DNA sequence: CGCCGAGTTGAACTGAATCAAGAAACGTGG
DNA sequence: CCACGTTTCTTGATTCAGTTCAACTCGGCG
């Protein structure tokens, strides 16, 4: 089983030759997960990062009222983890579930340590990931505070056009913070507007 | 002008003696800001972090519809910056305004560099700040997705009981994502409930 | 004293949720 | 390859939380 995308991803983000780091990358473990199975469940301690080689993951929580909130969709070439749980060693509030049959790279603390020892600019890279994450969370807050359901939907399809085709709408709804019925109506509305023009 | 709180804060978070780092801290600059004046305005590049010695700052944005959204309140002993703008060198979307007459410590990139050279565990400390920030943003998203206005208000007064007394309610409302009238009604409702019991 | 910004209250309105029912799409086994 | 059951999506009727707009109160402060 080859470490195709992950190797390329890491090498390019670290400005390193693939050859130079392939031995390090080779030492990390891969996992095949079937659609519907979990890489993390709420109340477990998250002690891995997950890089998606192929397939699609979804990270979500379930609130006290029993409602699902999708935190993020994680397609190929993306990375996901519960930073809060990993860093502070707290039980996670989130589920990470395979939305399609997927192949992922598991990245644990030892592995991170190894990386940061062997590769000087690894810390800088990780820092960049953290800052990206913050930007993205902040943007989502801005949208939740200031945009209507329709605006949030339009923003979503602009940012992640392919996701819509790969998951049930009800999950997109739970990402946007609206009900499935609500999303259905938003879409109907937009379809009508486009038709009229 | 002494660097009281900042020195204590940094020393304790870095597990260092105050004496040991006081010379470094002494080299950073202080600023007095009057109530209403700005440390950062939208479209400027943010190139400082701000540590509040005394007083209270507020970070907020103004959306396309002209509505203010309060991102955070920043009282004594807290730190604020626009990570997105600093790290990616992008124009900021935010205002940082003094809500009371305040004294702040300015922390610029040179200063950070100096710190990370002289103090081995500075990077770790900064990392912790980033992770805290992520946790806090994530929690806010959870609340916006899953909690009613009343629930968000109750959470707010539990977390930041003093803030309510120091700023106009309209700003708290813009933090919670509701209108000032809406907040007024939430409070009335809670007052009635407490009275009846 | 009179003004002014902050907060409150009421009435009408609206975006989105809820509940319930039907239609379409999907995958699984025969 | 079709038939069936399950899940997903749509649509309608109703309800509700929260907004909007406008009027009014209150407490400072010049």
CATH of the domain at A68: 2.60.120.10
Residue A49 lies in a domain: yes
- Nucleotide whose C1' lies closest to the alpha carbon of residue A186: C16
Task: Pick A146's closest partner by Cβ from B67, B133, B138.
Answer: B67
Whether A84 and chain B come into contact, CB under 8 Å, resolves to yes
Residue A154 lies in a domain: no
The count of domains in chain B is: 1
Residue B136 lies in a domain: no
Q: Which pair of structure tokens corresponds to residue B64?
A: 């396309």
Residue B48 lies in a domain: yes
Residue A186 lies in a domain: no
Distance of CA B188 to the CA centre of its chain: 28
User: Cβ of A70: how many Cβ atoms within 10 Å?
Assistant: 20
In the predicted structure, residue A12 carries a pLDDT above the cut 90: no
User: Which residues from chain B sit within 8 angstroms of residue A63, using beta carbons?
Assistant: 142, 145-147
Q: Give me the domain span that covers residue B88.
A: 4-121
The pTM for the full model equals 0.92
pLDDT in the model for residue A194? 66
Residue A148 lies in a domain: no
Residue B26 lies in a domain: yes
Q: Is the CB of A182 under 7 A from strand C?
A: yes
What is the pLDDT tens value at each position of chain B, 197 positions in all?
A: 455 888 888 888 888 877 777 777 777 788 999 999 999 999 999 999 999 999 999 999 999 888 999 999 999 999 999 999 999 999 999 999 999 999 999 998 888 888 888 887 888 889 999 999 999 999 999 999 999 999 999 999 999 999 999 999 999 999 999 999 999 999 999 987 766 54
Q: Which pair of structure tokens corresponds to residue B90?
A: 């992008």
CA→C1' distance for B30 and C2 (Å)? 42
Residue B187 lies in a domain: no
Confidence of residue A3 (pLDDT cuts 50, 70, 90): low
Contact B65 A146 (CB under 8 A): yes
In the predicted structure, residue A197 carries a pLDDT above the cut 50: no
Q: What is the mean pLDDT of residues A145-155?
A: 95
């Amino acid at each position: 089983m080859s470490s195709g995308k992950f190797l390329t991803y890491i090498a390019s983000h670290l400005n390193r030759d693939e050859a130079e780091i392939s031995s390090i990358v080779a030492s990390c473990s891969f996992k095949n997960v079937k659609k519907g199975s979990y890489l993390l469940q709420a109340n477990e301690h998250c002690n891995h990062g997950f890089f998606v080689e192929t397939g699609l993951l979804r990270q979500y929580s379930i609130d006290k009222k029993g409602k699902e909130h999708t935190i993020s969709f994680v397609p190929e070439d993306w990375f996901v983890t519960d930073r809060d749980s990993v860093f502070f060693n707290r039980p996670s509030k989130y589920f990470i579930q395979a939305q399609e049959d997927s192949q992922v790279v598991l990245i644990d603390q030892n592995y991170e340590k190894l990386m940061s020892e062997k590769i000087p600019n690894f810390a800088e890279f990780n820092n960049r990931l953290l800052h990206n994450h913050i930007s993205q969370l902040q943007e989502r807050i801005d949208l939740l505070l200031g945009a209507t359901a329709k605006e949030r939907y339009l923003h979503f399809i602009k940012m992640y056009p392919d996701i819509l085709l790969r998951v049930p709408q009800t999950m997109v709804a739970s990402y946007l913070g609206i009900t499935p019925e609500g999303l259905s109506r938003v879409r109907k509305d937009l379809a009508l507007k486009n038709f009229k023009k």
